[in-house]
Structure 1
Amino acid sequence: MKKLGIAAVLSATLMAPAAMAELSELRIMAPAGPGGGWDQTARSIQSTLQAEGLVSNIQVENVAGAGGTIGLQQFVNRSSGDPAATIVGGYVMVGAVIANDSPVSLTDVTPLARLTGEYVVVVAGADSPINNAEDLAAALAEDAGSVTWAGGSAGGVDHIAAGLFAQAADVDPATINYIPYSGGGEALAAILGGQVTVGVSGFSEFSAQIEAGSVKVIGITAPERQDYLDAPTFAEQGYDVEVQNWRMIAGAPGITDEQKAELVGTIETMAGSEAWAEVLASRGWVDTFLAGDEFTDYLNGEIEATAAILTELGITE
């Protein structure tokens, strides 16, 4: 993934004077329930924009369901031409649009910027007999249907990660018993309550429970160990599973080029701030900033590639 350094971001910002003007209002839709990655992203944007004095009035709204596609449809239908309306989303939504046969897609909004990336972790309850990737693979091989996975929406990055692990363990991905939840809080409750075998999500959604010892990490989908997590990757355990969940912010359909440029400039300024750098470090998010037309091209490529992956894994036809 292409990554812009802070210097490049600041340079781009200086070339866009409108970006430095304070916006009077901004609304961010988080198309998921409280506690999940999109909610965390929306509220982190809110707090950073406020701390940097970039927006006078900013509000976050949660609209959960179907991997973000319910919120996306509502956003597209009611926000056309509104320069104050934005929505967060990401890789999960790309797959959910396909898996849920959504009547609207990310091609119906105005992409502004890719903000962050986050590797996926698989966790089990502290008392679970599954302690590592080998244990999980053995359980799948014995009876794939008896191993329940709690994660985000069907077709999203969590589902893809589960499918990739099954594939790496020589188990048909189509046989996995994946249970989608609309928010990270609901999935976590199922894991802690022993209702599912393992949970799949970004590190930030499980970080407090990992630190408290109420869940244990089976593996992370990074190519190498991460400084923020004392746990092995799937790759070092012999299972080729690498996937990163990126998150973005988009504007409403039908806004003008000038309105888009102002929003992109504001987000660029935010992404170059020390306050945002602190957010990334505290949550274990990787800086994958990419804005404007470059991000639009990247997004179109991800839509095409994800459709192929979902078909290959047997998640969609």
Structure 2
Amino acid sequence: MRFPSFLAALATTALLCAGAAQAQVSVMLPANPGGGWDSTGRQAFQAMQQAGIYTGTVNFTNKGGAGGTIGLAEFQRAQKGKPDALAVFGAITVGAITLNKSPIDLSKFKPVARLTAEYLVLAVKADAPYKTLGDFVAALKGNPGGTPVGGGSAGGVDHIALALLAQSAGVPVPKLNYIPQAGGADTVTGIVNGTLKAGISGISEFQQFAESGRIRILGITKADRMPNLDVPTFKEAGYDVEIANWRGILGSIDMPEANHKEWVDRFARLNDSDAWKAVLAKQGWDPYFLPGDAFGQFIQSESGRINQILKDAGLAK
């Protein structure tokens, strides 16, 4: 083979390998389809493709349960050292690791990007007797065990938000009747059929059901009211509660440094793209971007904060 032809063959092979590498990108979604993590992962990559930042094939895997710890445990085991393996996770995972006594150590993964913050809302059935958050808290205070509230995994931000509301209102946290649900749609079903008196979830999971008249939102855990949502904040209603469900992206344990840097850069470009800003507006997510090592430092500090809340609320030892 002549030398120029050999170089051409090498170049062609390199391009084919690059395409093959893109085709092998895998994303663990440690939750059931249709939830917040599922939407975050799928819509982030859809926006990335629309913006021309990454246009290769993405293989998604859903594996829900135990606040994301089941899916992340599989990700930890099966994807270690893989160059293009990513996982979606968030604030829920931090508490779930503690309550489930999971061996997962978040500090061992490669922090890629914190993407969004979604504030939580408390909702009741549309024809429920509770017209305000104060009405519901009065019922909760009068009979906490007989007032079942549904939400995400035990120890997750939904559970923590209810515990903080109870603490602020003088309701004994250990007496709460919190019932974890598989997803936001299951929580809405429980509210509508009466097995739950209320539910707590991210605004994106409840808003469509409120707009269709199935449920009524009584309050949101944001410091200030959300635009285009006529709902008082918990603080406005007299309860000192402000908490957000943040979501982000982890790279595999021992991901090569070059790949880690590349994914941090891609998500930084995604954050600045019009395609992603449109997703945020549509979903009601707040931008909450933090890249790479700075995100790793945030995970460490947030782990300490959330675990202290769990201990103060009597949810963990």
The equivalent residue for 1:37 is: 36
Measure how far apart 1:228 and its partner are.
3.5
Counterpart contact for 1:64–1:183, Cα < 8 Å: no
The aligned runs of 1:205-284 (5 Å cut-off) are 205-284=205-284
Segment drifting more, 175-184 vs 216-225: 175-184
The equivalent residue for 1:298 is: 298
* Letter matched to residue 273 of structure 2: S
* Letter matched to residue 88 of structure 1: V
How many residue pairs are counted as aligned between the two chains?
A: 297
Measure how far apart 1:105 and its partner are.
3.0
Q: Helix, strand or coil: the match of 1:235?
A: coil
Counterpart contact for 1:113–1:289, Cα < 8 Å: yes
Measure how far apart 1:46 and its partner are.
2.3
The equivalent residue for 2:174 is: 174
Q: Does 1:195 align with 2:195?
A: yes
Q: Which runs of 5+ in 1 are unaligned?
A: 1-20
TM-score, with length taken from structure 2? 0.91
Q: Which has the larger radius of gyration?
A: 2
The aligned runs of 1:20-169 (5 Å cut-off) are 24-25=22-23, 26-53=25-52, 54-169=54-169
Residues in 1 aligned to 2:85 and 2:267: alpha-carbon distance in whole angstroms: 14
Counterpart contact for 1:76–1:108, Cα < 8 Å: no
Q: Helix, strand or coil: the match of 1:82?
A: coil
Q: Which runs of 5+ in 2 are unaligned?
A: 1-17
Q: Helix, strand or coil: the match of 1:131?
A: coil
Measure how far apart 1:183 and its partner are.
2.1
Counterpart contact for 2:84–2:259, Cα < 8 Å: no
Instruction: Give the percent of matched residue pairs that are identical in Structure 1 and Structure 2.
Output: 41
The equivalent residue for 2:287 is: 287
Residues in 2 aligned to 1:206 and 1:83: alpha-carbon distance in whole angstroms: 36
* Letter matched to residue 24 of structure 1: Q
Q: Helix, strand or coil: the match of 2:261?
A: helix
Residues in 2 aligned to 1:109 and 1:149: alpha-carbon distance in whole angstroms: 33
Measure how far apart 1:144 and its partner are.
0.5
Residues in 2 aligned to 1:298 and 1:282: alpha-carbon distance in whole angstroms: 26
Measure how far apart 1:177 and its partner are.
0.6
RMSD: 1.4
Residues 229-274 of structure 1: CA deviation (Å, up to 9, x unaligned): 1111111111111101110011110112111001111111111110
Residues in 2 aligned to 1:176 and 1:63: alpha-carbon distance in whole angstroms: 29
Residues 101-121 of structure 1: CA deviation (Å, up to 9, x unaligned): 112132232111100001100
TM-score, with length taken from structure 1? 0.91
Q: Helix, strand or coil: the match of 1:55?
A: coil
Residues in 2 aligned to 1:45 and 1:83: alpha-carbon distance in whole angstroms: 19
Residues in 2 aligned to 1:206 and 1:232: alpha-carbon distance in whole angstroms: 15
Q: Helix, strand or coil: the match of 1:225?
A: coil
Residues in 1 aligned to 2:78 and 2:280: alpha-carbon distance in whole angstroms: 31
Counterpart contact for 1:46–1:60, Cα < 8 Å: no
